[in-house]
Amino acid sequence: MGSTVFKGGIHPDYHKELTATMAVTEMKTPGKVVIPLQQHIGAPCEPLEAIEVGTEVKIGQKIAQSSGFVSAPIHASVSGKITAIGPYNHPLGRPVEAITIESDGEEKWDESIKPPGDPGNLTPEQIREIVREAGIVGLGGATFPAHVKLSPPPEKKIDIVVINGAECEPYLTADHRVMLEKPEEIVFGLKMMIKALGAEKGVIGVEDNKTDALKVLEQQVAEEGNITVASLHTKYPQGAEKMLIQVTTGRIVPAGGLPLDVGVVNHNVGTAVAITNAVREGKPLVDRVVTVTGAGINRPQNLLVRIGTLVSDVLEQCGGLKEDTVKLVIGGPMMGLAQPSPDIPVIKGTSGILALTGDDVYLAEISPCIRCAKCVDHCPVQLMPTSIAQAAEHEMFKKAEKLHAMDCFECGCCAYVCPSKIPLVQWIRIAKAEIAKANKK
Amino acid sequence: MNKVQSLITSSSPHIKSDETISNAMRDVFIALLPVTLVSIYFFQAYAVLTIAVCLVTACLTEVLFRKLMNKKPTLYDWSALVTGLFVALLFQATTPWYKAALATFIAVGIAKELAGGLGWNRFNPALFGRVALVVLAPAYAYVNQWFQPLHINLGMLDTITQATPLAMMRAGMVMPSVGELFTGFPAGALSEVSPLALLIGAAYLFYKKHISWHIPVSIIGTVVVLTLIAGQNPIYHIVTGGIMIGAFFMATDWVSSPFTTKGKIIFGICIGILIVVFRVGLLITEGVAFSILIMNAFVPMIERMTSRSQFGKIKAVAVPMADNKS
């Protein structure tokens, strides 16, 4: 099954050696955490009634939720006292309402955290409820609420659950370490998803540059009749859901559609572990593995970080930023977001903190398009990026829409290969925003 | 952590390939060196003079036009040098230097800079410059009179009076062997002396992934098939005249060829058909140059026709959720 390869894509320098062999270590509990009320795609949360400045909270205590279905509740990640509720810097750019908790250092877990019962006896409905209450979202970075993907509309029959262990973004090794260190939890989480969805089988897709992870997972699933591990060609963006589903199941997700349209649901390996923790121990999502890496980091490592920990505190734990750091990115180098300051919290979707130095960041002058077609050849969803960018530049957004701009998921292959260094993704993003605006009217 | 840092916050992706326009153009220049060296070996001072004149004219023309249009000079991107070398290779060694210079001036100044600069020219600049002199031959004959005193006589070379193989073929003369034609035969334009040297350069461009097989293979394939149908020896057609440089270097010019894969194949086949029509049907010289330029004009149309189909294209199906992220 691993023989099929998707069209397009690139082979960037991966730089994973910086952290690939480093076991995940738990970061020391920060003095304070700032927990944004929006860390997922969907409706933002509201603080619970009892939550106000001065309230004492414990780890795992639910502090905010939303009545909307596409949303995920938020839990305290340290024990201590709430010192502020108000807008705070957010990795997505705009300040977002956040709850600041000053840690009391006692690390007390909330009394409500207990195993919900024998996992074997849980009904699909109960699994979904546990996942929802645990505030689990897609940990690969997209942060879509996990319980929503486990609740497909009844007319959509799901038969395959695909677990994403591709980790195709350069530099990042968080998923790699999770696969090496928590294979049992990944497979258990997958089995819970299969049960919740009434699916038939599961596939764990891993890029073939992580042979050790492939081996560990293959051993883990050896006894499982309906779960396989697929070795995937190492090529970016192998972990993009459409590409991953194509190579692991042979199915093509329709344009503008969702994996469930072809009977597939996919989740990240980290999400699978979070689901296991919730189902077995009742533990909500209060921490996650973050790869702190790049030439600008003094001591690159994989850290288990509490949600809400300030990036500046994480950097301090890693020996701080080097003087020649020019870019601080949350996420990977291909799709991550550059930050103006490290004064932002780690959120549920933060898979990496990347510090790039002058050598890594290409700041060449932009040249005109020479129509070399490299962007066309490397686009994994068969777009003509330079044509869309040109349409956007001339504010011809109808034309951009006809060129399927909305199918772009901003993987960045086009801008990576462009010899003219045209910011193609940026132009396409402008086109997408304008098209969305026009279509809303 | 109180260090004051000024962090850059530009859009993703945050890493980019090392490939630049200058590198790519320099690679094209490098790929032309083998044939350039072979032509110098055969034509010596004549070839050196023609090439030097074209390179210098190309650079001067670019600087002049960009200055007139208040644009920054871009000599560092190698594109003027590449165009200059291309023009030189399209002429015979004995061409008066001012004729080659005039063609270069038209190529860089009119076909490229006046069209908007690199990336905006619809026609291959070098071919445009070369063909302009063919089309404007009567006018040039007049202009030629002024330049006559500037002619430089470099003495005679045996080889340069030779008829081109295509002319020999038409005249029914005894042809040199295919092997000789392929490795090196001193007749015709500088670029026509050695298909082997061109192929070595083309191999370099393939290796560097600057060109794909689609255009050259569809041009040459079409010529082979059609000349066979016409009852001629296709090998002679391929190794003589401008087909080699046309198929591998001119038609594959990024700016003036389609960027869709299907479009490249259609473009190549049409060029192949035109070449055979010009060569076998109309007995016109410069058939390759005309064929490529004609098809250059159709590139936007070909691209519209072969616009890529959507990934996962389906017939109208209701999509349950508006949000397609996961």
- Check if B7 contacts A (Cβ < 8 Å): yes
Clarify whether residues A236 and A379 are in a common domain. no
- Contact between A403 and B10 using a beta-carbon 8 Å cutoff: no
* A390, part of any domain: yes
**Position B117 pLDDT exceeds 80:** yes
Tell me the pLDDT band of B174, cut-offs 50, 70 and 90.
confident
Give the pLDDT of chain A (441 residues) as one tens digit per residue.
Answer: 334 788 899 999 999 999 999 999 999 999 999 999 999 888 899 999 889 999 999 999 999 999 888 999 999 999 999 999 999 999 998 899 999 999 998 999 999 898 888 888 899 999 999 999 999 999 988 899 999 999 999 888 999 999 999 999 999 999 999 999 999 999 999 999 999 999 999 999 999 999 999 999 999 999 888 999 999 999 999 999 999 999 999 999 998 889 999 999 999 999 999 999 999 999 999 999 999 999 999 999 999 999 999 999 999 999 999 988 999 999 999 999 999 999 999 999 999 999 998 877 766 678 889 999 999 999 999 999 999 999 999 999 999 999 999 999 999 999 999 999 999 999 999 999 999 999 887
Number of separate domains in chain B: 1
Residues A386, A256: one domain?
no
Is B272 inside a domain boundary? Answer: yes
CB nearest to A417's CB, from B1, B12, B19: B19
The beta-carbon neighbor of B7 closest among A144, A339, A410 is A339
Choose the final residue of a domain: A218, A247, A281.
Answer: A281
Chain A interface disruption, residue of B2, B3, B17, most A CBs within 10 A? B17
Q: Are residue A124 and residue A253 in the same domain, yes or no?
A: yes
A323 contact residues in B (CB cutoff 8 A): 3
Q: Do A370 and B120 touch (CB under 8 A)?
A: no
Q: Determine whether the interchain pair B15/A326 forms a contact, defined as Cβ–Cβ distance below 8 Å.
A: no
| pTM (2 d.p.) | 0.87
A243-252, A415-424, B60-69, B164-173: least confident range: B164-173
Token pair of B68, please?
A: 């007139």
Is B161 in the A-facing interface, judged by CB distances under 8 Å? no
Per-residue model confidence (pLDDT) at position B186: 76
Least CB–CB distance from A338: residue in B9, B16, B120: B9
Interface membership of B72 toward A (CB under 8 Å):
no
pLDDT at position B326: 35
Nearest residue to B263 (alpha-carbon basis) of B295, B223, B221: B295
Domain total of chain A: 2
| Best mutation target, B2, B3, B4, B15, to test chain A (most A CBs within 10 A) | B15
Question: How far is B294 from chain A, CA to nearest CA, in Å?
Answer: 19
Out of A41, A364, A423, closest to residue B20 by CB:
A364
Taking an 8 Å cut-off on Cβ atoms, the answer to whether A384 and B307 are in contact is yes
Element (H, E) at B39: helix B21-43
Residues 119-158 of B with CB under 8 A from A: 119-120
Is B311 touching A (CB cutoff 8 A)? yes
Tell me, yes or no, whether B252 lies in a domain.
yes
Residues A396 and A274 reside in one and the same domain: no
CB contact under 8 A, A416 and B21: no
Structural domain range at position A392: 374-440
Residue B1, domain member (yes or no):
no
Check if B19 contacts A (Cβ < 8 Å): yes
In a domain, A203, yes or no: yes
Q: Given an 8 Å threshold on Cβ–Cβ distance, is B10 in contact with A338? A: yes
B166 and A CB contact within 8 Å: no
Q: Which of A149, A336, A386 sits opposite B326 (nearest CB)?
A: A149
The string of pLDDT tens digits covering residues B192-237 is: 888 999 999 999 999 998 999 999 999 999 999 999 998 888 888 8
What is the pLDDT confidence band of residue B164, given thresholds at 50, 70 and 90? confident
Q: Which of A281, A314, A335 is the last residue of a domain?
A: A281
Q: Looking at the structure, do residues A139 and A250 belong to the same domain, yes or no?
A: yes
HEC letters along chain A: CCCCCCCCCECCCCCHHHCCCCCCEECCCCCEEEEECCCCCCCCCEECCCCCCCCEECECCEEEECCCCCCCCEECCCCEEEEEEEEECCCCCCCEEEEEEEECCCCCECCCCCCCCCHHHCCHHHHHHHHHHCCCECCCCCCCEHHHHCCCCCCCCCCEEEEEECCCCCCCCHHHHHHHHCHHHHHHHHHHHHHHHCCCEEEEEEECCCHHHHHHHHHHHCCCCCEEEEEECCCECCCCHHHHHHHHHCCCCCCCCCHHHHCEEEEEHHHHHHHHHHHHHCCCCCEEEEEEECCCECCCEEEEEECCEEHHHHHHHCCCECCCEEEEEECCCCCCEEECCCCCECCCCCCEEEEEECCCCCCCCCCCCCCCCHHHHHCCCCCCHHHHHHHHHCCCHHHHHHCCHHHCCCCCHHHHHCCCCCCHHHHHHHHHHHHHHHHHC
pLDDT for B181 beyond 90: no
| Domain CATH number, residue B239 | 1.10.3430
* Partner-chain contact A407 B311, CB within 8 Å: yes
Quick check: is A221 in a domain? yes
Statement to judge: residues A232 and A379 lie in one domain: no
Question: The domain containing residue B276 runs over which residues?
Answer: 21-139+158-305
Q: Is residue B3 part of a domain?
A: no
Residues of chain A neighbouring B14 (CB-CB closer than 8 A)? 327, 329, 333-334, 336, 338, 354, 356, 360-361
Domain boundary among A281, A314, A341: A281
Report the pLDDT value the prediction gives residue A116, as an integer from 0 to 100: 86
Query: Out of B1, B9, B308, whose CB is closest to A384?
Result: B308
pLDDT at B26: 94
Condensed to tens digits (0 to 9), the pLDDT of residues B103-116 reads: 999 999 999 999 88
